[in-house]
Every structure is written in C-alpha cells, then in structure tokens.
C-alpha cells in the first residue's frame, strides 16, 4: 500500500459509504473500473464501517419530527449524553412533555446501555417531587428515548425570592425535595448534580410543588464501570463546582454514594436560607481548577448565620426576601439551622446525614420546635490541618485574624528576646515555647466550620486567645502584654472596639507594672490605645495617650528621632478633631521638621504630615491651601510607589473635596471615583471606611446635578456605616449631612430634616457644643428650614451657628462672616431689618466678601436703606481687618 | 513545551498510579488535568484551549506509549490500567485498551501517518486529545466536512489494522 493508493481507496470509500446496498454495488463498479484488488479493499474497509458518526449531524437533527407518539416542537437543551426536546402528545391529550434522546454520534453500545439503565431507573420512580417518566421507546432510526413530564417552573431559589417566602416556608419546600431525593435513593439512583436549576418549582392549585429534574447523569448504584473522572471533553464538568461534594472533587476518585446528594442538598439548603452560596462562585472559579477542588475538599465554609453578616449591605436585600431584617435572619439561622446545614455539608461523608430522609427529619424537628440531631460533635482538628487551610487563599476574617496573630505574635517573641539581652538562653526558650504553645492551643481548638458549637468568628477567636493568654501565661507577663497588644490592635482594625479596649488596657497595666513608666514597649501600646480611642471618636483620650507615648519616646530616643513623626501626626489629628487648630499646627510643624530631616522632603513621612495639615485646612474652609498640600502629598505617594493604597485613597478623597468646593467639578469627580475604587480594592466593598469617599463622590454628583447616582452613593455609604460602625459614630454625621443636601435639592425636605436632626444629635453627643462639626450640622438644618420657609426656626438655627463658629474660630474668621450673612438674610426676610443690618456689619468685619449682596433677593427689603447701601459698597472691596 | 510535558507526565503518573488495577482511565482526562493545572482555564479563550489540546494530544500519546512499553517489560499487563480512548475505536462495552492493544494502536497510527499524515493527525487529536470534529477542523484549518470524511475512513482503516494485526 502506498500513499496514492491509500488516497484513492479513501475517496471511493467516502463516495459509497452512505449508499444503500444496490446503489453501492453500482457505484463501486463505476469507481473501481475493473480494478478488482481496489474494489476488494474498499469492500473490506466497508465492513469495518460503523453507522455514520460526526457526519453532518445537524441535517439529521432537523429531520426529526416525531418520536414515539409525540410531535417534536423545539430543542430545550443538550446534556452529556443526550438532547432534550419539548414535544406534544399527538391525539386528544395535548400534553406537553420533555423528550430525552441520545445525541447523534453517540450510538456506541456502551452509551446506549447506560441510557437504557437510566431510562429504566427513571421509569421506576414515581414521586410527586420527581419529574415523571411517561413513555420510553425507540425512534424510527433506532435511537432510544424517553418522555418525561415537562416541568414549567422556576428554579427553587428564584421561586422563593420572587414570592418572598419566609425561612419556614422555604424549609417546607426543601423537605419535599429531600423526600423526592430519598425516593430515588431507595431505587438505587443518585442524582449527582442537585442544584437550583435542577429543582424547579411549579404551582399546582396555587401551592408550590418542587420537582427534581435532569437525572441525566444519574447512575444506578450497581453499575460497574463508574467513571472515576468527573470530566468530559475539554474540561467540562459533570456536576457544577459550587454544588460539588468533596468526594466528587477528589481526583483519586472514591466512589460516589447517596451521601453525595446529601451534600448537594446541604448546599441547596444553604443557598435558599442565606441567599448566597457557601463559597463565592467568582472567587472559586478565579482561583483556578486545582485550587477550586482543594477549596471544596478542605476549606470549611462560613456557617449560614455568619455568612449573612458577612454580606454587608447585601444582607438587607436577602433578609427582605425572607420577610425579615438582617438581624432577624441571623437569629433565625443561628443554632439549629446552622447545625443542620453544616452537618449536611460535612467534608467527611461519614459524619453527614446518612440519607436525605434523615435530613428531612431533622428539618421537620426544627420546624416543630423539637431538638435536632445535628448536635455539634466534638472534634479535635490537627494543627497541621489548620496550617494547611491557611495556605488556601480564601478570604475569611477568621483566617485573617489567625494569620495576623501568628505572624505578629511570633515576631514579638523575637522582639522580646532581642530586648532582654541579659536573659539566659533557657529563659528565652521557655518564653518562646510558652507563647507558641498558647497559640497552638488556640489554633488547635479552633473550628472554623463551627462544629464545636462555637462560631469561628474573629470575636470568638480573640476571646479564646485572650482566655488562654490570661490563664496559661501568668508567669510570662511581658509575653502576655505583647500578645494582648497585638490582639488589641487587631481588634481595633476589625472594628471590635470593646474588646480592643479591654486587651489594650490590660496590656498597658502589665507593661506599667513590669517595665515601669518609661519603656518603649509601653509607648508602643499607648500609641495603639490612642489609635483605638480616635477610632471610637474619643479624641480627648486619644490626645492624652499619644502625649504620654511621646513623652516616653522623647525621653528614651531623644527629641530629634524620626520615629517620633508618627506619634506626632497622630497627636495632631486628635487635636484637630477637637478644633484645637493652634495646637495641631504646632505639633505638625514639629512633625514636619522631623520628617524633613528623617525621610527627606519627599519622603512618605512628609506625606503624612502634609495630609493632616491639608485636612485641617479643609475643616476650616481653606480650600486652596488644602489643595496644594494634597497635591504635594499625592505626588510623594505616587513617586514612592506607595504601597499603602488606603492612604492614597484618602489623599484623593480630600483632594476631590477641595476641588469640589472650588467648583472644579469634573476634576473632583475624577479624584472621587479614583478614591472609591482604590479603597474598595484595598479594603473590600463592605468596609465602613469606604463610606467617606463614597459620600464625597455623592456630593460631587449633587453639585453636577446627577441626583440619582448621588443618592445611590449616599445610600451605600450609610449602609456601610450602619453595619460597620456603632450607630453614633461621628463619621456617620458626615454622610448624613451630605445626603441631606441632596434631599434638599430634590425637594424631599422632610427626609432631609430627619437626617440633619440626627446629625446634630450625633455631633453634639460626640463633641459637645463647641465644635465645627456641630456647626456644620446646625448650618445644614438652618438652610433647610430656610428653604422650607420656616423662617423662625431657621433664624434660631443660624443664631446658634453664629455662636458656635464664633466660639471656635474667633470673630474674624471668614466662615463666621458667612454665617452672620446667612442669619442676616433670614432676619431680613422676617422683617427684622435693624438686626439684619447688624449682622451684615459683623459679616463684613469678619472679612466676608460678597459682591452679590446688593442683588441678593433675600435682602430686598433692605434696599434703599442707606446703611445697607453703604455696606454693599464696602462688600465690593475687602475689609482691612481680613486675615 | 517541556513544561507541559513534565506536567503531563506527572499527572499521568499520578492518575495511573494504580492502586486499583482494572480501572478504566480516560486519556483526555489526563490532558484535561494538565491543561487546567497549567492554565487558568477561565482566562484562555476557546481557540487557545483547542490548540493546547492539540499539542497535548501528541504528548499524551507518547506518554502512554512510553508508559505502556515500560509496563510491558515488567509484567504482561497485570497491573496495567486500561486506557479508554475518548472516541471509541470499538463499539463493545469494553472500550478499553490494554498494553498490547495500545502499542498496536500506536504502531498502526505510525503506519497511517506514512500513508496519510493528515488522517493520522486527526486520529491522534480525537483519540488522545478528545477534540470533536469541529475542533479538529479548527486546529488543522480544514472544513468540518473534510475532517469528518477523513475520520470515518481512518477509523475503518485502523480497526481493520488492529483486528487483523492480532489483537484479541
């Protein structure tokens, strides 16, 4: 045989292979033209020919019009082995069915055999919650098929959400699904791919009826050649990763059994109850194939109640779809339902419910207020197993805490070792060992899946750690102090302020007791304590603590040490928030000098100093000064390839603020948007700090007249703060004020008033009366009442605003002047001309320049009054008393 | 692509690790595994994958054959895991090939390549790469029709080769 010959044979073969027997003979005779050897060759090959495969399958498909007693209407879908068509029953019944047919090109006997088994098993099933098999047979061209009940319904998750079913109602539906699955299991059929799209809910006589469909990859349990791999060609999964059980994700391929379906039921239950999947599908798929399977096999997902909390703003929607609020939902899920779901989702299938019926029973017990069987068992996880979990890059605050604790604590052990140079090696070893063992115990007792009945939230981890540290390290007070210091700052970072205070106060006490009052380690803890106080809005305490820390550092390191910069900056913040701008300026000047001599004028330390100064300028309305400093700071950060993206985001946010106030709105928007996106990237979308740049963006939108995007930004910002901060946190007031301004513009005056009144309450409580934050809230409300036409109220508010600003800024500040002006306007409108003019004079004296005064409609009644005209003229030139 | 080959070898070794003899194994699953380990599947477009598999298919064939030869030398197929090729050469239920069958297939394929390199390539891509007719068409740059036609003939030809070549 040579190549040419081969080609000829091929050609002839292809010409004749589809022909019927008589035609074939004729064609062969013609093509071979007497070459008998050639003809024999082709005939021989034809013996080895199968039914045609992969040849124009589409043509054949379209030709299909009837199958059995059904008329094909349209293709619904195609699966691994077969295709699904919608068809209608010929004859009087007019019933619509789904027909499952083997895919063309797959007629090998193995496939047919498998199909036959599936068909048989499905025919054995007869349960209201399983789509029924109506007829089975063979098509005209010899392909097997079966006709199933066509379910016109929506996936169970969608149904529950659309009807806003409560948790109880959802559970009742799930019980029915379990019963269906149980029925199948009893007949030896495992579904293997239970997920919402395979559990459709129909309504029959107004009542919901879940129906499980697509047992298409079901396998009878006694089928021998169970595929070990769950892959088909080109990486298509059989089974969907998010619902796949750990044993399915294991390539060494344990047998699948009925408990695989129990796992999937658990995931389904999870999603129906919580409104989110246990593993974030995007994260799962983005992690790559290998990692994805690892996650499914090894990582414990958060419990349902915990997952709700972690949804942040989205939990409000989820709760609403269950006719409750987020707190209510968490309460409903905590306890029984958490345990039931997690038991169904156990990695080790021996610890799952043995059957779908057992799961259904436990759900029913819960619904009847009986004790459920899913009692959390006692488990002792190996330390190594935990360590292995850490390597999987799945975000979870519990793991974050562990990681922080571990790395920092081990680092501090080294720190202690370094500082206590005079100690013997033995003591060091003991110290290190003690710390290690505590941590090991804490980690070893951890149970992120919640099986020991304690949640693995950051709170409980820290609490357990604290307990251990307290009890087991009594003879190592300095190590105790270090660990508590670390835990305190971790807790602060996570927003767990009460715990943080406890930890840090105790750390301070231990440090003072054992190190004296002038030790650098004490200074470190004092700084952390100051930071905590600042975060909670207690600026006075923040100031005092930081001052104490500075004293120690100056005494031990010297006044010119550049590590004083950070504490000085912190102190400046604390002073600024208390409106002690003089003190803040002084502190910043010092910090600036040190930064200059330390990192240099373009160092990051300088950027920090500039940022504080700029922010205080913003608070005082000095927009241009602020902008200059901020641009400088941003430049430094960018050229240093700043890793602290949050710091960059803050600079951008404030820069946006300064641009907005000087009406450079497009530039402002650019900065605001960048600030939001950088911060979101760095902190995640649910962090309360994101509220600040979001509110800034919102304010810019308001100025631009884009009211809907503005509203969205403010709503989101408020939600983040409501979830992440305690309710009276002063930062909330900022958001409220900005939002109120929008509502004023859109005419929603009542809503606006509510927000502003709340802002006033918050700022009063946080700052007392003499603070510009209170002024800002009062002023906002004053404007609102002015717009609403409540002149008396407005007047009282403006009067108050004047008082506050005068007390805080002194009588000669521009902002005081503008407040006087506004008061004057209201007075003029209510007819109190003399008093109006008085305040106008004070406005001028304070340095207000407003050329438009003469034309201000609010002051109409004053025109013609000679005193007024005089002032108006003066307004056109700046008063010499201006700073 | 030495990196790919190493990965494939590792994957094949692990999957064919064989504590459980007699298990069928899908060759395409091996290439799948390797591919997905090496490449973030979601980011590579379809064409990229197809071409990967095309390359992988050849390597897989070499791998399996090498492995078979090594095994063959040790024992006569005792703990050899049967290999199922994705596009069933046979119609019987037992569509798995043992050591000798695999080696014979390899030999036959090599012979086919002498006569019609394109057909041999198509067969390799389908058997060892798991590509469909359309995908093969895309890789090689022909119409699906042409590929289907070549394939059909090649299949018949191989069957005849293997049967008469002394396979049971």
- From A232's Cα to the closest Cα of chain B, the distance in A is 7
Contact A744, A787 (CB under 8 A): yes
What is the model's pTM?
0.44
A49-74 burial by CB neighbour count: b if 16+ within 10 A, else e? beebbbbebeeeeeebeebbebebee
Asked if pLDDT for residue A349 goes beyond 60, the answer is: yes
Tell me the two tokens of residue A418.
């370094």
A235 to B26: CB separation less than 8 angstroms, yes or no: no
Q: Identify the DSSP state of A347.
A: S
Phi first, then psi: give them for residue A219, nearest 5 degrees: -130, 135
Query: Which of A722, A667, A668, A665 is CA-nearest to residue A691?
Result: A722
For B91, which of A17, A108, A233 is closest by C-beta distance? A108
Q: What is the Cα–Cα distance from A237 to A856, expressed in whole angstroms?
A: 72
Q: Is A222 on the interface with B (CB under 8 A)?
A: no
Q: What is the Cα–Cα distance from A409 to A469, expressed in whole angstroms?
A: 12
Strands in A483-557 per DSSP E: none
Lowest-pLDDT choice from A17-26, A504-513, A779-788, A823-832: A17-26
B156 to A289: CB separation less than 8 angstroms, yes or no: no
Between these two residues, A595 and A60, which has the higher pLDDT value? A595
Q: State the number of CA atoms in the 13 A half-sphere of A630 facing the CB.
A: 26
pLDDT of res. A506: 92
pLDDT of res. A101: 75
pLDDT of res. A820: 92
Grade residue A274 by pLDDT with cuts at 50, 70 and 90: very high
- From A10's Cα to the closest Cα of chain B, the distance in A is 6
pLDDT of res. A246: 77
Asked if pLDDT for residue B95 goes beyond 60, the answer is: no
* Residue B43: closest C-alpha in chain A: A286
pLDDT of res. B22: 34
pLDDT of res. A801: 94
Contact A321, A146 (CB under 8 A): no
- Measured between beta carbons, the chain B residues lying within 8 angstroms of A251 are 14-15, 33
Contact A618, A654 (CB under 8 A): yes
Grade residue B76 by pLDDT with cuts at 50, 70 and 90: very low
Asked if pLDDT for residue A683 goes beyond 50, the answer is: yes
Percentage of residues of chain A with pLDDT beyond 70: 76
Catalytic residue at A193?
yes
Residue range A439-459: mean pLDDT, rounded? 43
pLDDT tens column, A520-537: 889 989 998 998 888 777
pLDDT tens column, A637-681: 888 765 667 788 889 999 999 999 888 889 999 999 999 998 887
- Measured between beta carbons, the chain B residues lying within 8 angstroms of A46 are 156
Scan residues 46-85 of B and list those with Cβ closer than 8 Å to A: 49-50, 53
Asked if pLDDT for residue A76 goes beyond 50, the answer is: yes
pLDDT of res. A298: 75
* Residue A231: closest C-alpha in chain B: B29
pLDDT of res. A873: 79
Q: Which of A161, A193, A538, A599 is catalytic?
A: A193
A228 to B24: CB separation less than 8 angstroms, yes or no: yes
Between these two residues, A366 and A486, which has the higher pLDDT value? A366
Contact A374, A339 (CB under 8 A): yes
Asked if pLDDT for residue A740 goes beyond 90, the answer is: yes
pLDDT tens column, A477-495: 877 787 788 778 767 766 6
Average confidence score pLDDT of chain A = 77
Contact A434, A390 (CB under 8 A): no
Residue range A605-629: mean pLDDT, rounded? 88
pLDDT of res. B103: 72
- Measured between beta carbons, the chain A residues lying within 8 angstroms of B149 are 14, 55
Between these two residues, A242 and B44, which has the higher pLDDT value? A242
Q: Is A289 on the interface with B (CB under 8 A)?
A: yes
Q: What is the Cα–Cα distance from B40 to A339, expressed in whole angstroms?
A: 35
Contact A819, A776 (CB under 8 A): no
Q: Is A236 on the interface with B (CB under 8 A)?
A: no
pLDDT of res. B16: 41
Lowest-pLDDT choice from A84-98, A616-630, A750-764: A84-98
pLDDT tens column, A121-180: 777 788 999 987 777 777 776 677 777 888 888 899 999 999 999 999 999 999 999 999
DSSP element (H, E) containing A201: strand A199-204
Query: Which of A391, A387, A401, A482 is CA-nearest to residue A440?
Result: A387
- From B106's Cα to the closest Cα of chain A, the distance in A is 19
């Amino acid at each position: 045989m040579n190549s040419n010959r081969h080609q000829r044979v091929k050609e002839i073969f292809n010409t004749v292979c589809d022909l019927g027997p008589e035609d074939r003979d004729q064609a062969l005779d013609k093509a071979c033209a007497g070459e008998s050897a050639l003809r024999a060759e082709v005939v021989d090959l034809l013996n080895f020919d199968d039914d045609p495969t992969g040849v124009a399958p589409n043509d054949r498909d379209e030709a299909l019009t009837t199958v059995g007693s059904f008329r094909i209407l349209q293709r619904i879908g195609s699966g691994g082995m077969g295709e699904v068509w919608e068809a209608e029953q010929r004859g009087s019944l007019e019933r619509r069915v789904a027909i499952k047919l083997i895919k063309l090109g797959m007629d090998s006997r193995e496939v047919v055999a498998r199909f036959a088994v599936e068909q048989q098993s499905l025919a054995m099933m007869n349960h209201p919650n399983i789509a029924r098999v109506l007829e089975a047979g063979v098509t005209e061209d010899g392909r097997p098929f079966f006709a199933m009940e066509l379910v016109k319904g929506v996936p169970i998750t969608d149904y529950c959400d659309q009807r806003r079913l409560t948790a109880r109602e959802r559970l009742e539906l799930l019980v029915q699904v379990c019963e269906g699955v149980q029925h199948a299991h009893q007949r030896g059929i495992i579904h293997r791919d239970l997920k919402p799209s395979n559990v459709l809910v129909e309504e029959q006589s107004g009542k919901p009826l879940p129906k499980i469909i697509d047992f298409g990859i079901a396998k009878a349990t006694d089928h021998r050649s169970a595929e070990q791999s769950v892959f088909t060609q080109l990486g298509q999964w059989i089974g969907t990763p998010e619902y796949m059980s750990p044993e399915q994700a294991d390539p060494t391929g344990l047998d699948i059994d009925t408990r695989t379906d129990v796992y999937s039921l658990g995931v389904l239950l999870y999603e129906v109850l919580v409104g989110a999947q246990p593993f974030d599908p995007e994260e799962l798929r983005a992690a790559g194939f290998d990692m994805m399977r690892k996650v499914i096999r090894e990582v414990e997902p958060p419990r349902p109640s915990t997952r709700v909390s972690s949804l942040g703003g989205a939990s409000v929607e989820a709760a609403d779809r269950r006719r409750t609020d987020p707190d209510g939902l968490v309460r409903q899920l905590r306890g029984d339902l958490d345990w039931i779901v997690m038991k169904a989702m156990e990695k080790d299938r021996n610890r799952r419910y043995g059957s779908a019926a057992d799961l259904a029973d436990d759900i029913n017990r819960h619904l009847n207020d009986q004790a459920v069987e899913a009692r959390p068992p006692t488990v002792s996880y190996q330390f190594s197993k935990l360590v292995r979990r850490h390597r999987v890059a799945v975000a979870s605050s519990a793991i974050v805490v562990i990681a922080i604790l571990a790395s920092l604590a081990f680092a501090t052990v080294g720190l202690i070792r370094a500082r206590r140079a005079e100690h013997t090696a033995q003591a060091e070893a003991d110290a290190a060992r003690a710390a290690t063992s505590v941590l090991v115990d804490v980690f070893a007792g951890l149970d992120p899946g919640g099986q020991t009945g304690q949640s693995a939230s950051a709170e409980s981890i820290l609490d357990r750690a604290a307990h251990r540290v307290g009890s087991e390290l009594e003879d190592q007070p300095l190590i105790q102090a270090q660990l508590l210091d670390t835990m305190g700052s971790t807790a602060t970072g996570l927003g767990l302020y009460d715990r943080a205070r406890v930890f840090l106060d105790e750390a301070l006490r231990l440090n003072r007791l054992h190190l004296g009052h002038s030790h650098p380690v004490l200074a470190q803890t004092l700084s952390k304590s100051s930071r905590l106080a600042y975060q909670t809005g207690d600026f006075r305490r923040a100031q005092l603590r930081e001052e104490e820390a500075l004293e120690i550092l100056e005494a031990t390191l010297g006044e010119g040490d550049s590590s004083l910069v950070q504490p000085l900056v912190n102190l400046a913040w604390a002073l600024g928030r208390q409106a002690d701008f003089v003190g803040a300026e002084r502190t910043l000047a010092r910090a600036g000098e040190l930064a200059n001599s330390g990192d240099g004028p373009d160092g990051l330390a300088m950027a920090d100093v500039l940022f504080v100064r700029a922010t205080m300028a913003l608070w005082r309305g000095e927009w241009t000064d602020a902008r200059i400093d901020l641009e400088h700071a941003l430049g430094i950060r960018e050229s240093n390839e700043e890793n602290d993206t949050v710091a960059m985001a803050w600079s951008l946010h404030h820069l946006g603020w300064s641009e907005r106030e000087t009406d450079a709105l497009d530039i402002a928007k650019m900065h605001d948007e960048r600030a939001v996106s950088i911060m979101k990237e760095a902190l995640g979308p649910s962090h309360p700090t994101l509220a600040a740049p979001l509110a800034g963006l919102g304010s810019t939108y308001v100025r631009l007249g884009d009211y809907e995007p503005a509203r969205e930004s403010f709503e989101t910002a408020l939600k983040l703060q409501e979830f992440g901060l305690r309710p009276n946190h002063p930062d909330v007031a900022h958001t409220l004020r900005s939002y109120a301004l929008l509502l004023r513009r859109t005419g929603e005056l009542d809503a606006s008033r509510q927000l502003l009144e709340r802002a006033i309450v918050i700022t009063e409580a946080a700052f007392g009366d003499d603070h510009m934050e209170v002024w800002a809230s009062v002023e906002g409300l004053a404007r609102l009442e002015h717009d609403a036409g409540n002149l008396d109220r407005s007047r009282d508010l403006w009067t108050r605003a004047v008082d506050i600003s005068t007390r805080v800024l002194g009588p000669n500040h521009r902002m005081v002047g503008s407040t006087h002006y506004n008061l004057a306007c209201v007075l003029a409108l209510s007819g109190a001309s003399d008093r109006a003019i008085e305040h106008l004079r004070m406005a001028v004296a304070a340095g207000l320049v407003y050329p438009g005064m003469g034309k201000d409609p609010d002051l109409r009644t004053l025109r013609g009054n000679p005193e007024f005209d005089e002032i108006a003229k003066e307004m056109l030139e700046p008063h010499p008393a201006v700073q | 692509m030495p990196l790919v080959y190493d990965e494939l070898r590792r994957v094949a070794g692990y999957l064919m690790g064989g504590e459980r003899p007699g298990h069928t194994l899908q060759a395409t699953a091996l290439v799948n595994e390797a591919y997905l380990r090496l490449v973030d599947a979601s980011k590579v477009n379809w064409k990229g994958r197809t071409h990967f598999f095309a390359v992988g298919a050849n390597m897989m064939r070499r791998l399996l054959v090498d492995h078979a030869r090594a095994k063959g030398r040790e024992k006569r197929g005792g703990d050899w895991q049967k290999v199922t090729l994705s596009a069933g050469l046979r119609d019987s239920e037992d569509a798995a090939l043992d050591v000798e069958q695999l080696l014979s297939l390899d030999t036959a394929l090599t012979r086919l390549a002498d006569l019609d390199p394109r057909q041999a390539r198509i067969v390799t891509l389908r058997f060892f790469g798991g590509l469909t007719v359309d995908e093969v068409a895309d890789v090689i740059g022909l119409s699906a029709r042409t590929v289907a036609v070549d394939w059909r003939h090649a299949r018949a030809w191989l069957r005849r080769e293997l049967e008469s070549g002394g396979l049971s």
